[in-house]
C-alpha cells in the first residue's frame, strides 16, 4: 500500500517526446475520506467511459521527432486518478523532466521495456496511435522505490495491457482535430473475461488527413489484438500490436523565410510536383510487436511475471540527395536575401526580397526545376544508359528485429517487500540507403557525392578513382529506384539486465534499497567497402562490451499522519548508446574512446503534506552527470565535408525544486498549481574529437567552451495553474494556464570553440565574441488551454447486467488565445562561417507552436 | 516537528527567487609558443638570390604582423617581424587583414614552404613546378597547416632609422621591417600629385623622397590602394612604413640599382608638416652623383 502511495506521488510525468504532463496527485489516496471526492466523482461507469476518450493523440510514433511541434500527448493517470485536474499539458513546449535527456524515461508494457536498443528512446511508437492502451498504467519515479523496473534518473511508466483487464465493451469513437491530422476513427471490442476464462480484445484505429502546417499530413492504421486465458492462478496473454504510418512533418524554419512567406504555417519541405503537393521528407513506419505474457499469482504475497516478445520494425525517412548542384532546399543560405546582405550587395538582396515576397512558390521545393535539369542532362548525354540523376529522393531505411525476455518476481513479507527482475534482449538493425524517386532521371551513380577534389591531402594521390567509391565491391554502380546505395550495415546489440530491490516498511520509517547490473554488447557488420576506409568498413567491427550498474537507497519518515519527508540517493553508470559509440556507423567501424562510462549521481529530498483541503508536495533535487557523450554530425565548412564532433566527456549538473499543490475549493472547484524550477547546466569544457567523412586522416581535437552554459532544449522553469469544475451530472470543464521559460536553443559546439573566434580581437570586439558564445534564449511561452468532457448514460442496454450504452464527448482546445508566434524550440545550425566568423550566416532555426488548435472526440459504447 | 514543512517551503521560496547566471568562459589564445628560429636566422639560410629554397627541416618562426592588405597597399601578402628582422608571407586571398591584423602574433611552421626573393626582398610562399619553379601564395584553405594564429595588439614600435642606414643587401636587418624616417621631403616637381593614380591607368606610383643630406628613398604606392587618391604633401616630415629593397641586378649604375623603397600602411603615418630643408637636397644629390662619376 505504502509503495503505491509513493508511486502515486510521482505526479509529474513527461513522455519521451518533449511533452510533459503534470500528473497530479492520486485523489483517492490524498483524500480517502473526502466528501468532495465522493461528491465530485462517483465511481460511475459514465465517468469511466470518459477515461478512454480523454486520451488525445500523442504524436509519439517517431522517436526522432523530438524536435517537431507537438500537440498534447495525453497520458492520463490510472483509471482512478482521473480526472481533469490531474493533467497539465505543456503544449508543444520542450519541457523535459528535470532537464534530463528523454531517454532517461522509459516505457514498459506489462512489465517489459519497449524500446529499440540502438537509440533507446521510450517506445511510444509501439502504440501507433492506439491510445486506448495507454489508459491503465503505473508511473514511477526511477530514483524512488519502484515495482516493475530497476529505475534510474527519469520517470518510468508501465502500461498494463491484457485482454482480460478490459471490461466487456464495444466502442466506436470518432475524433476531429486540426493538429497533425484531421480525422481519427477507432473501433474497440473487448469480450471481457467470461465463464470460459478466455478473453479477446480488438482495437482498430485509423488516423487520416492534413496537418496544421503546410504540406504536412498523417495517415496511419494501427491494430491491437489481445488474447487472454486464465487458468487457476495463472494468466496467459498474447498481445499483438501492429500497423502502418505515413507522416509528413513540418520543419524548423528560418525567421527570414517564414517572414517572406508571410505565413504562420510555413513549411519549406514541400513543393508542387506535377501540380500536386509533395513533401520531400516523409516518414514511413511499419511495425509488428507481439508479446506473450504469463503472470503467476503464486499466493497472495508472491507473484511471478514472464514475458517474451518479438518486434519487427521498419522505418523509412525520405529526403533529398544530390551531387554537383546546390541544396534543393528553398532555405539554402545562398538562395536568401540575407546572403547578399552579408556580402554587402544590398540592391541584390532587395530585389530578391521583393521577388520572394511576390512569389511564394519560390519558397517551396522546386520539383519542376529538378525535372528540367534532368531533361537538359539528357540532351547533353552521350551515354546510352540514360540520364544520371543529379537530385533524387533518397530513403534512409532502418529495419530492426528484436527478441526479448523478461521476468519479474515480487514477494511480500510482513514488513518487507522484495522485487527481483531480469531482462534480456537481442537486436539486429539493418541500415541502408535506397533510391526512392529518381525524379525523371534514369539512374543514380553510387559514388561519394561530397568528395572534395580540391583539397590537398597527401594520401589522396594513391588512386583517386578508388577513393570516391562508396563500395569498392561494386564500383561506379548505376542505381535504380528501390535499390540500395551508399551504405549498408548491420548493428548487433545485446542488453542484459538483472535487478533486485527491497523495501522495508516500519511504522514511522520506510527504507528502500535497489541494485541493478547491466551488460551491453554492440558490434557493427559492414556490407560495403568504402573507398576512403577500405580496411575498416567491410566486415565485423570489434565487439564492444560494457558493464554498468546502479545502486539506490531511500529513506522516508512519517512525521505524523499528514506530513512526511523523504530522502533518496542514486548512482549509476551507463554504457554509451550505439549511436554515440560509432563515430560514423554509415561509413566505418571506427569507435570513439570507450574507456569511460557515463556516471550519474542524484540526491533528492522532499516533503509531502496531505489533508482534506490541501495536498502539497515539494522536492529538491541535485543531479551530477559525468562523461556524458554526444556526437554532432553536420556539414563542416572547415573540411568541406560532412563530419563529426564527438564529445565523450561532457559534465552536467541539474538542480532545482518542484512543487505540486492541489486545493479543494467549494462549489465543486479544484485548483492546482504545479511548478518546476531548475538550473541545468554544463560544468566543464568538454573535448571534441573532430573527424571528417571525406578523409581518414583528419582527426583533431578542440576544447568546447560549454562551461556554465545552460542545458538546452528544455525550459528550465515551468509553471501551471489549473482550475477545474466538476459537475455531479457527469461533466467537467477545466482551464490550464501554462508558462514555461528559461529555455535555450540547441547549441552549436563549433561556435563555442577557439577557431570560431580566432580572428576576433577581444580587446576591440568582445561584444562580437559574446554574441557567438551566448546561448540563444527563447522568449517565455504562455498557453491557455481548455479541456472538457461529458458522458451520458443512454436509456437502453444491450446485454444483461449493467451494460448500459454511453455517449461521451471530450474537447481539448489548446492555445485558446491563438498566440501565433510562440517558439516551442530552436536550434542553432551546426554549420559555421569560419571565414567571416559570423554566427548569422547560418542563423538558428525555429519550431513554432500551433495557433489555436483543438481535438473533439465523440464515443459511443455499450 | 512543524519545522519540516517550514524548511521545505522556505527552501522552495529561496530557489524560486534565485536567478541564473551565465558566466561564459572564453577561450584564450595561447601565446606561449615561440619559434625555434629567428626570422633573420631563417633568412640567412637563404643564400643565393633568385633561387628557391624549400624548407625540409622543422623550422618555426614567430613574429608580429606589421603590414597586411587592409588599405590595399599590400596585395596577397602580410609582413611579420620579430626582434631580428622581418619577412613577407604570401597568402592567396583577399581581406587577409581580417585574419592577420596589424599587431597579431603569428607562429609559422615553415616546413614545406619555400623562400624566394623579389629584388632581394625575401618572401615565404608555396612553390610549384620543379622545372620552372614559381613562388605562389599559400592557398587559403591550407594556411591553417602553416600559420598558427596568436594574440592581438602587440605594439611594435617602428625603428627610427636614416636612409643611409638602409641597404638593399639580401640580409639587411631592416628589410621588411617597420621603420620611421624623419626629415624627408618630396621633390618640388611632384607638387599637386596624388600618392598613386586612383584611375588605375598605371598600377603604382613612385616618388623620390629626399633627406636634407640628399639621400633618397622611393615611396611606392599601389593605385589599387585606398591611399591612391591622397595628395602627396609638399612639406618636410616623417614617414612610417615597410622598408623593402628593390635591387635591380641588371642595372650597372649603382645609384640606380640599389633602390630603397618604403611602402605606407596608412595615411596617418605620413606626417609632412615641417618646413622644407634650407638647402636643396636635389641639387646636393646631383652634385654628389657628379662627384662620384668623376672618380
Buried b (16+ CB within 10 A) or exposed e, B235-268: ebbbbbbbbbbbbeeeeeeeeeebbbbbbbbbee
Chosen from A562, A565, A615 to mutate, greatest number of chain B CBs within 10 A: A565
Instruction: State the burial class of residue A668 (Cβ atoms within 10 Å of its Cβ: 0-12, 13-18, 19+).
Output: middle
A369's CB contacts (< 8 A; 6+ apart) are none
pLDDT, tens digit, 9 for 90 and up, residues A538-564:
999 999 999 999 999 999 998 887 888
Nearest CA in chain B to A608: B5
Residue A262, CA atoms < 13 Å, CB-side half-sphere: 8
Q: List all residues of chain B from 137 to 196 with a beta carbon under 8 Å from chain A.
A: 139, 141-142, 149, 152-153
CB B102 within 8 A of CB B85: no
Number of cross-chain residue pairs from A and B with Cβ atoms under 8 Å apart: 82
pLDDT at A16: 26
pLDDT at A457: 47
Nearest-CA distance A568 → chain B (Å): 15
Judge whether A767 is closer than 8 Å to chain B, CB to CB: no
B105's CB contacts (< 8 A; 6+ apart) are B31, B62, B63, B64, B65, B150, B151, B152, B154
Residue B7, CA atoms < 13 Å, CB-side half-sphere: 13
pLDDT at A156: 86
Across residues A455-473, what is the average pLDDT?
Answer: 68
pLDDT at A325: 80
Q: How far is CA A34 from CA A30, A37, A39, A394, A674, in A?
A: 9, 5, 9, 60, 22
Closest to B241 (Cα-Cα) out of B227, B262, B223, B225: B262
Q: Give the phi and the psi of residue A643 in degrees, each rounded to 5.
A: -165, -175
pLDDT at A378: 65
pLDDT, tens digit, 9 for 90 and up, residues A559-618:
887 888 899 999 999 999 998 999 999 999 998 888 889 999 999 998 888 777 888 888
Question: Which one has a higher pLDDT value, A795 or A263?
Answer: A263
Cα A365 from Cα A439, distance rounded (Å): 13
pLDDT at A430: 96
pLDDT at A143: 87
pLDDT at A800: 56
Cα A216 from Cα A249, distance rounded (Å): 5
Taking an 8 Å cut-off on Cβ atoms, the answer to whether A773 and B12 are in contact is no
Nearest CA in chain B to A719: B16
Cα A177 from Cα A172, distance rounded (Å): 17
Q: What percent of chain A has pLDDT over 90?
A: 48
Cα A609 from Cα A615, distance rounded (Å): 6
CB A487 within 8 A of CB A432: yes
pLDDT at A380: 58
Question: Which one has a higher pLDDT value, A111 or A60?
Answer: A111
Taking an 8 Å cut-off on Cβ atoms, the answer to whether B99 and A455 are in contact is no
CB A329 within 8 A of CB A319: no
Across residues A501-507, what is the average pLDDT?
Answer: 92
Across A58-72, A173-187, B114-128, least confident range: A58-72
Cα A568 from Cα B163, distance rounded (Å): 82
Across residues B122-126, what is the average pLDDT?
Answer: 93
pLDDT, tens digit, 9 for 90 and up, residues A36-54:
333 333 345 555 565 555 5
Indicate whether A769 pLDDT > 70. Answer: yes
Which chain B residues are within 8 Å of A742, Cβ to Cβ? Answer: 20
pLDDT at A512: 94
Indicate whether B43 pLDDT > 80. Answer: yes
A765: its cell numbers: 570586439
User: Strand A845-848 and strand A270-273: pairing?
Assistant: unpaired
Taking an 8 Å cut-off on Cβ atoms, the answer to whether B24 and A757 are in contact is no
CB A194 within 8 A of CB A112: no
Taking an 8 Å cut-off on Cβ atoms, the answer to whether A705 and B23 are in contact is no
pLDDT, tens digit, 9 for 90 and up, residues A64-105:
433 333 333 322 222 222 223 333 344 345 677 888 888 888
SS3 category, B288: helix
Judge whether A758 is closer than 8 Å to chain B, CB to CB: yes
CB A631 within 8 A of CB A647: yes
Closest to A433 (Cα-Cα) out of A479, A469, A388: A479
Residues paired with A790 in a beta bridge: A731, A809
Indicate whether B184 pLDDT > 80. Answer: yes
Closest to B195 (Cα-Cα) out of B221, B176, B162, B218: B221
B204: its cell numbers: 603604382
SS3 category, B283: helix
Q: For residue B5, give the nearest of A607, A757, A761 by CB distance.
A: A607
CB A828 within 8 A of CB A235: no
Quote the ipTM score.
0.86
Q: For residue B26, give the nearest of A563, A606, A773 by CB distance.
A: A773
Cα A510 from Cα A554, distance rounded (Å): 8
Amino acid at each position: 500500500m505504502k509503495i503505491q502511495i509513493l508511486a502515486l506521488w510521482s505526479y509529474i510525468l513527461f513522455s519521451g517526446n518533449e511533452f510533459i504532463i503534470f500528473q497530479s496527485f492520486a485523489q483517492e489516496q490524498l483524500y480517502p475520506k473526502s466528501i468532495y471526492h465522493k461528491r465530485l466523482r462517483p465511481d460511475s461507469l459514465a465517468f469511466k467511459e470518459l477515461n478512454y476518450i480523454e486520451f488525445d493523440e500523442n504524436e509519439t510514433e517517431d522517436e526522432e521527432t523530438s524536435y517537431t511541434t507537438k500537440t498534447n500527448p495525453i497520458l492520463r493517470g490510472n483509471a482512478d486518478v482521473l480526472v481533469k485536474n490531474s493533467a497539465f499539458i505543456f503544449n508543444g513546449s520542450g519541457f523535459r523532466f528535470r532537464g534530463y535527456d528523454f531517454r532517461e524515461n522509459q516505457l514498459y508494457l506489462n512489465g517489459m521495456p519497449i524500446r529499440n536498443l540502438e537509440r533507446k528512446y521510450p517506445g511510444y511508437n509501439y502504440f501507433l496511435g492506439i491510445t486506448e492502451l495507454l489508459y491503465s498504467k503505473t508511473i514511477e519515479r526511477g530514483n524512488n522505490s519502484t515495482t516493475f523496473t530497476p529505475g534510474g534518473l527519469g520517470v518510468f511508466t508501465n502500461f498494463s495491457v491484457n485482454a482480460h483487464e478490459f471490461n466487456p465493451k464495444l466502442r466506436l469513437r470518432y475524433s476531429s482535430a486540426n493538429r497533425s491530422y484531421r480525422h481519427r476513427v477507432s473501433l474497440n471490442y473487448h469480450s471481457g473475461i467470461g465463464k470460459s476464462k478466455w478473453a479477446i480484445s480488438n482495437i482498430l484505429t485509423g488516423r487520416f488527413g492534413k496537418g496544421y502546417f503546410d504540406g504536412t499530413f498523417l495517415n496511419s492504421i494501427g491494430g491491437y489484438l489481445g488474447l487472454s486465458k486464465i487458468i487457476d492462478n495463472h494468466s496467459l496473454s498474447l498481445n499483438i500490436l501492429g500497423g502502418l504510418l505515413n507522416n509528413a512533418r513540418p520543419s524548423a524554419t528560418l525567421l527570414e523565410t517564414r517572414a517572406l512567406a508571410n505565413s504562420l504555417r510555413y513549411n519549406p519541405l514541400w513543393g508542387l510536383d506535377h501540380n500536386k503537393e509533395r513533401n520531400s521528407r516523409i516518414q514511413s513506419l511499419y511495425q509488428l510487436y507481439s508479446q506473450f505474457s504469463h503472470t503467476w499469482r503464486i499466493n497472495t504475497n508472491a507473484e511471478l511475471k514472464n514475458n517474451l516478445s518479438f518486434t519487427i520494425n521498419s522505418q523509412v525517412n525520405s529526403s533529398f540527395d544530390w551531387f554537383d548542384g546546390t541544396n534543393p532546399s528553398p532555405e539554402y543560405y545562398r538562395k536568401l536575401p540575407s546572403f547578399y546582405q552579408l556580402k554587402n550587395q544590398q540592391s541584390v538582396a532587395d530585389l530578391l526580397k521583393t521577388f520572394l515576397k511576390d512569389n511564394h512558390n519560390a519558397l517551396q521545393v522546386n520539383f519542376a526545376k529538378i525535372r528540367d535539369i534532368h531533361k537538359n542532362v539528357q540532351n547533353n548525354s552521350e551515354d546510352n544508359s540514360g540520364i544520371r540523376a543529379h537530385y533524387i529522393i533518397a530513403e534512409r531505411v532502418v529495419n530492426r528485429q528484436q527478441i526479448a525476455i523478461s521476468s519479474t518476481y515480487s514477494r511480500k513479507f510482513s514488513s518487507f517487500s522484495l522485487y527481483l527482475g531480469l531482462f534480456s534482449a537481442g537486436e539486429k538493425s539493418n541500415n541502408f540507403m535506397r533510391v526512392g524517386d529518381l525524379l525523371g532521371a534514369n539512374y543514380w551513380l553510387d559514388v561519394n557525392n561530397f568528395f572534395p577534389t580540391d583539397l590537398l591531402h597527401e594520401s589522396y594521390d594513391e588512386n583517386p578513382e578508388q577513393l570516391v567509391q562508396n563500395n569498392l565491391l561494386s564500383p561506379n554502380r548505376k542505381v535504380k529506384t528501390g535499390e540500395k546505395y551508399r551504405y549498408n550495415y548491420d548493428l548487433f546489440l545485446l542488453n542484459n539486465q538483472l535487478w533486485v530491490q527491497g523495501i522495508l516498511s516500519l511504522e514511522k520509517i520506510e527504507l528502500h534499497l535497489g541494485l541493478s547490473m547491466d551488460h551491453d554488447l554492440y558490434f557493427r557488420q559492414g556490407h560495403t567497402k568504402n573507398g576512403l576506409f577500405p580496411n575498416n568498413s567491410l566486415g565485423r567491427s570489434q565487439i564492444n562490451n560494457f558493464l554498468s550498474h546502479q545502486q539506490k537507497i531511500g529513506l522516508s519518515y512519517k512525521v505524523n499522519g499528514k506530513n512526511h519527508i523523504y530522502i533518496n540517493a542514486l548512482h549509476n553508470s551507463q554504457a554509451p548508446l550505439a549511436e554515440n559509440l560509432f563515430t560514423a556507423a554509415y561509413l566505418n567501424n571506427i569507435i570513439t574512446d570507450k574507456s569511460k562510462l557515463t556516471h550519474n549521481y542524484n540526491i533528492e529530498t522532499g516533503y509531502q503534506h496531505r489533508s482534506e483541503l490541501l495536498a502539497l508536495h515539494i522536492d529538491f533535487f541535485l543531479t551530477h552527470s559525468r562523461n556524458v557523450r554526444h556526437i554532432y554530425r553536420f556539414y563542416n565548412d572547415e573540411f568541406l565535408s560532412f563530419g563529426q564532433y564527438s564529445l565523450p566527456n561532457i559534465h552536467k549538473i541539474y538542480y532545482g525544486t518542484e512543487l505540486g499543490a492541489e486545493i479543494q475549493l467549494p462549489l465543486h472547484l479544484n485548483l492546482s498549481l504545479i511548478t518546476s524550477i531548475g538550473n541545468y547546466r554544463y560544468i566543464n569544457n568538454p573535448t571534441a574529437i573532430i573527424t571528417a567523412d571525406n578523409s581518414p586522416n583528419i582527426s583533431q581535437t578542440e576544447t568546447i567552451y560549454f562551461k556554465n552554459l545552460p542545458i538546452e532544449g528544455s525550459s528550465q522553469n515551468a509553471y501551471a495553474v489549473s482550475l477545474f469544475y466538476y459537475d455531479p451530472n457527469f461533466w467537467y470543464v477545466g482551464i490550464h494556464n501554462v508558462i514555461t521559460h528559461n529555455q535555450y536553443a540547441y547549441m552549436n559546439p563549433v561556435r563555442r570553440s577557439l577557431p570560431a573566434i580566432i580572428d576576433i580581437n577581444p580587446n576591440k570586439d568582445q561584444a562580437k565574441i559574446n554574441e557567438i558564445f551566448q546561448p540563444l534564449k527563447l522568449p517565455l511561452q504562455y498557453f491557455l488551454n481548455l479541456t472538457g468532457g461529458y458522458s451520458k448514460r443512454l436509456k437502453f442496454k444491450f446485454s444483461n447486467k449493467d451494460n448500459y450504452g454511453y455517449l461521451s464527448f471530450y474537447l481539448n482546445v489548446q492555445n485558446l488565445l491563438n498566440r501565433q508566434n510562440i517558439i516551442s524550440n530552436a536550434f542553432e545550425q551546426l554549420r559555421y562561417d569560419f571565414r567571416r566568423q559570423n554566427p548569422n550566416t547560418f542563423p538558428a532555426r525555429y519550431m513554432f507552436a500551433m495557433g489555436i488548435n483543438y481535438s473533439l472526440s465523440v464515443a459511443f459504447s455499450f | 516537528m512543524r519545522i519540516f514543512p517550514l524548511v521545505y517551503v522556505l527552501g522552495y521560496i529561496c530557489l524560486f527567487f534565485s536567478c541564473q547566471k551565465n558566466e561564459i568562459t572564453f577561450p584564450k589564445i595561447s601565446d606561449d609558443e615561440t619559434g625555434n628560429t629567428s626570422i633573420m636566422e631563417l633568412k640567412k639560410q637563404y643564400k643565393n638570390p633568385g633561387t628557391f629554397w624549400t624548407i625540409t627541416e622543422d623550422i618555426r618562426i614567430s613574429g608580429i604582423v606589421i603590414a597586411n592588405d587592409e588599405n590595399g597597399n599590400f596585395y596577397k601578402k602580410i609582413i611579420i617581424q620579430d626582434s631580428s628582422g622581418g619577412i613577407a608571407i604570401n597568402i592567396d586571398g583577399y581581406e587577409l587583414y581580417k585574419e592577420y591584423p596589424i599587431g597579431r602574433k603569428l607562429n609559422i611552421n615553415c616546413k614545406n614552404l619555400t623562400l624566394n626573393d623579389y629584388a632581394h626582398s625575401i618572401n615565404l610562399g608555396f612553390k610549384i613546378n620543379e622545372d620552372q619553379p614559381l613562388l605562389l601564395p599559400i592557398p587559403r584553405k591550407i594556411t591553417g597547416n602553416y600559420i598558427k594564429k596568436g594574440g592581438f595588439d602587440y605594439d611594435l614600435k617602428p625603428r627610427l632609422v636614416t636612409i643611409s642606414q638602409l641597404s638593399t643587401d639580401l640580409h639587411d636587418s631592416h628589410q621588411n621591417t617597420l621603420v620611421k624616417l624623419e626629415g624627408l621631403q618630396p621633390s618640388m616637381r611632384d607638387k599637386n600629385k596624388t600618392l598613386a593614380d586612383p584611375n588605375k591607368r598605371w598600377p603604382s606610383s613612385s616618388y623620390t623622397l629626399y633627406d636634407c643630406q640628399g639621400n633618397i628613398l622611393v615611396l611606392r604606392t599601389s593605385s589599387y590602394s585606398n591611399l591612391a587618391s591622397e595628395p602627396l604633401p609638399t612639406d618636410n616630415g616623417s614617414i612610417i612604413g615597410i622598408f623593402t629593397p628593390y635591387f635591380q641586378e641588371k642595372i650597372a649604375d649603382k645609384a640606380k640599382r640599389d633602390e630603397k623603397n618604403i611602402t605606407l600602411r596608412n595615411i596617418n603615418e605620413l606626417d609632412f608638416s615641417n618646413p622644407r630643408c634650407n638647402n636643396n637636397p636635389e641639387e646636393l644629390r646631383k652634385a654628389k652623383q657628379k662627384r662620384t662619376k668623376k672618380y
